[in-house]
Amino acid sequence: MGRSLVIVESPAKAKTINKYLGKDYIVKSSVGHVRDLPTSGGVAKKRAGAPTLAQQTKGMTPEAKAAFKEKRDKKSLYSRMGIDPENDWAATYQILPGKEKVVAELQQLAEKADVIYLATDLDREGEAIAWH
């Protein structure tokens, strides 16, 4: 039998549970939830080297320029909202800042594990961890 991965919320719980489960289990903490919808606020940042509106609309009719700008603005708004109302309200989750290493480690361990147990608390935080 291969090893099983057990994911818990806190490092203290991981340490305690690990004492009881033994060597057939790897117990790791997510240190809270790791993904969420993007935080809204401000204007979306422009990528370095991205073409300007004038460059993108050069040669377009005024009507085509207006349609292009409206479509671009909607796309920007939807990306900041974290949901796409035009695509069945599909959610776009982001890994929280500072959680990249935790996610990478859990993904690596999950790939090698035969079984994954989600041993989170029965609350909103635990549900968020298990869902993501």
Domain assignment present for 43: no
Domain assignment present for 49: no
pLDDT beyond 80 at 112? yes
Evaluate the CA torsion angle 91, 96, 99, 104 in order and state its sign.
positive
Domain assignment present for 46: no
Position 42 confidence tier, pLDDT thresholds 50, 70, 90: very low
Convert the pLDDT of each residue in 1-38 to its tens digit: 568 999 999 999 999 999 999 899 999 999 988 888 88
Q: In terms of domains, do 9 and 33 share one?
A: yes
Specify the number of domains making up the chain.
2
Domain assignment present for 45: no
pLDDT beyond 50 at 43? no
Q: In terms of domains, do 24 and 13 share one?
A: yes
CATH number at residue 132: 3.40.50.140
Q: Which residue has the higher pLDDT, 39 or 92?
A: 92
The pLDDT, as a whole number, for residue 131 is 80
- What's the domain range around 63? 54-92
Note the pTM of the prediction, 2 decimals.
Answer: 0.68
Average pLDDT over residues 70-95: 85
